[in-house]
Amino acid sequence: MCGDKKLIYKQFCGNSCAGKWKYKNSEKVRQALIIGFNSKNRGIGISRAKSGKPRFDMRGDKNHNWNPESKSSDRHILMGRVEYKNWRKSIFERDNYTCKICNIRGGKLNADHIKPYYYFPELALDIDNGRTLCEDCHKKEPTYGHKVKTQYQKL
């Protein structure tokens, strides 16, 4: 199987080669590849075959990365709600789908909170606290991502 190399395990030259053969000939992986090659989401079948069972013992406060002080999980919950999506759509419509900084219409747009959600969660769905920015302008703003924490600590 491995050519002219010295054979270990009767047909493999080493553990690495044996592992590759086991992976390629695994029934789960073969089924995932068959499903994957015939669908648009090719890699999903493979990742599911490799992932195994879900780790319920590692969720929430049982996970080593758990931080009860974190506000980001509340924000992500809010972002999935209909109210947030309506807020975002109304911001875009009010600003005519135009970036407030560079005045370019369309493209990849973000609804930006003028007063950041991290410090003002009560203003999250206030229309007056939103503006439309293109992705490039939004990344340059001091209220983008983790810059918020460092920017407002200076004030």
* Tens-digit pLDDT profile for residues 112-150: 999 888 888 899 999 999 999 999 999 998 888 777 777
Whether 48 has a pLDDT exceeding 60, the answer reads no
- The helix (run of H) or strand (run of E) holding residue 112 is strand 109-113
Whether 2 has a pLDDT exceeding 90, the answer reads no
Burial of 151 (C-beta count, 10 Å sphere; 0-12/13-18/19+) = middle
Chain segment 68-114, per-residue pLDDT in tens: 776 667 777 888 889 999 999 999 999 999 999 999 998 999 999 99
Whether 66 has a pLDDT exceeding 60, the answer reads yes
pLDDT band at 50 (very low <50, low <70, confident <90, very high): low
Most confident of 9-13, 26-30, 43-47, 59-63: 59-63
| 148, 119 contact by CB (below 8 A) | yes
* For range 27-37, the mean pLDDT: 58
Whether 7 has a pLDDT exceeding 70, the answer reads no
